[in-house]
Chains A and B, each alone.
Chain A
């Protein structure tokens, strides 16, 4: 996950914003204390959304308390799930650990990664691997999560290596990773709803990331599904309107599925803000980048 799934803070109520930040603090704390200190370093705000959805389907209520941490040593911050163990935060922490590990493996397999970067990544992977081994022993659920993520990432890497020209195929493969992970440990309608959300989220994140990184990938000569599809950066940019529309369709699908999870729920306003305002803003940011630089070049 890459930081696209965030709310528009100015449109959140103050207490909602407080809760959002507290869940993030709680997630970071849970990662550090219970799962993996190393993986906590690469945490981002996207996972808060997943934690909120997970709490929503299981009916969990986040309890806040004031805590200090290495990043905020002087003024204590509101923190969720610090006193009592929170299943939602634990679950999301495990998902993050598995995804971080696979992302590192993926970057190391990539021939375009520089030598110095590779060294750093190897070191980091060593630390993460240690936590993974520990976690595997302690928790059978984690093995299930890791397996789901690994399977889909292998398939994704294969598709990328083949130079797959179908963005939908890649997006659906990435979606399958989150679809399976989100469903771990759930049953019945909760499982169906949350795995659908996961699938949509995975698809959207993959394509949005590809669209966002298009210029960089073209410059470096890396694989990008839109480059593979349209050939050149200019050709891909000339379809900006269409790509933007397609991303919005994926986002709308996510919106419909999230509505089924959060319907009368406690965290519905935050989730709604993320899906209806935050994600469209992220899509727009990526598209504007392309249309503006296109105009600049042609001027």
Chain B
């Protein structure tokens, strides 16, 4: 795989800000809007994909480095699985779900960590298999509850129901009970004034 830092044209020691800036500039340059009537539009799209994949890979690598720095992983298997997962994430971002799924399934069960479950969930969600997606996100969250990305995704699914079609017709506070109560009150008032509204009480 090509070096993602080389694709973005930055040094591996560059700060997050620098990387973001480089990415934005390149993205602007290769944006499909600039190539609308250009026969080379597909090449630009390819470039764009590469840049996106590289950026995401760097993000993943850095996020992984941050969240796993305290974990007691053996160095070898840890970095190996991280590379695998970065490749899967790049495939997902490039829209190659079939390849991403194949890579995902190739990861042995012993090396399936929170990130793996999260990526598997992303693949499921893109395939429109939402029940499995939500289970994967839940697994990722329970393995690594401190990762904001996993938690955000899991909460997103659970709160969809509240965002989608959250609608109350109108104030349905007037029930049959309220009507009776109103009548009894009116009856009391009438009786105070010497009259009667409901004869039997």
Q: Which residues of A approach B to under 8 Å, CB–CB?
A: 8, 10-11, 166-169, 171-172, 203, 207, 229, 241-253, 255, 276-277, 279-281, 283-284, 287
Contact with A along B110-143 (1 / 0, CB 8 A): 0000000000000011001111111000100000
- Of B128, B134, B165, which is within 8 A of A245 by CB? B134
Q: Is the CB of A168 within 8 A of B134?
A: no
Q: How close is A191's CB to chain B, nearest CB, in angstroms?
A: 19
User: With A168-B124, A251-B165, A280-B161 given, can you name 4 additional A-B contacts, CB distance below 8 Å?
Assistant: A166-B131, A168-B132, A248-B164, A277-B167
Task: Name the residue on B nearest A278 (C-beta).
Answer: B165
Q: Which of B20-47 contact A (CB under 8 A)?
A: none
Q: Is the CB of A246 within 8 A of B165?
A: no
Task: Name the residue on A nearest B155 (C-beta).
Answer: A245
Those 9 A-B pairs whose CB atoms lie nearest each other, nearest first: A280-B165, A168-B129, A248-B161, A249-B130, A248-B160, A167-B131, A244-B161, A246-B130, A245-B157
Q: Is the CB of B161 within 8 A of A245?
A: yes
- Of B134, B160, B164, B169, which is within 8 A of A10 by CB? B169
Q: Is the CB of B165 within 8 A of A287?
A: no
Main secondary structure on B side of the interface with A = helix
Q: Is the CB of B160 within 8 A of A245?
A: yes
A-chain residues with CB within 8 Å of residue B72 when the two chains form the complex: none
Q: List 18 A-B contacts (CB under 8 A).
A: A167-B131, A168-B129, A168-B130, A241-B158, A242-B158, A245-B161, A247-B161, A248-B160, A248-B161, A249-B130, A249-B160, A250-B128, A252-B160, A253-B128, A277-B165, A277-B167, A280-B164, A284-B165
A-chain residues with CB within 8 Å of residue B133 when the two chains form the complex: 246
Given A168-B124, A172-B129, A246:B164 Cβ within 8 A: no
Q: How close is A26's CB to chain B, nearest CB, in angstroms?
A: 28
Q: Is the CB of B131 within 8 A of A207?
A: yes
Cα distance A172–B165 in the bound complex, in angstroms: 23
Q: How close is A253's CB to chain B, nearest CB, in angstroms?
A: 6
Contact with A along B160-201 (1 / 0, CB 8 A): 110011110100000000000000000000000000000000
Task: Name the residue on A nearest B165 (C-beta).
Answer: A280
Q: Which residues of B approach A to under 8 Å, CB–CB?
A: 124-125, 128-134, 138, 157-161, 164-167, 169
B-chain residues with CB within 8 Å of residue A244 when the two chains form the complex: 158, 161
Q: Is the CB of B129 within 8 A of A287?
A: no
Cα distance A243–B130 in the bound complex, in angstroms: 9
Q: How close is B166's CB to chain A, nearest CB, in angstroms?
A: 8
A-chain residues with CB within 8 Å of residue B125 when the two chains form the complex: 249
Q: How close is B131's CB to chain A, nearest CB, in angstroms?
A: 4
Task: Name the residue on A nearest B159 (C-beta).
Answer: A245
Given A241-B158, A242-B158, A245-B160, A279:B134 Cβ within 8 A: no
A-chain residues with CB within 8 Å of residue B169 when the two chains form the complex: 8, 10-11
Cα distance A271–B164 in the bound complex, in angstroms: 16
Task: Name the residue on B nearest A172 (C-beta).
Answer: B129
Q: Is the CB of B165 within 8 A of A279?
A: yes
Kindly name the residue among B124, B129, B130, B159 whose own CB sees the greatest number of chain A CB atoms within 10 A.
B130
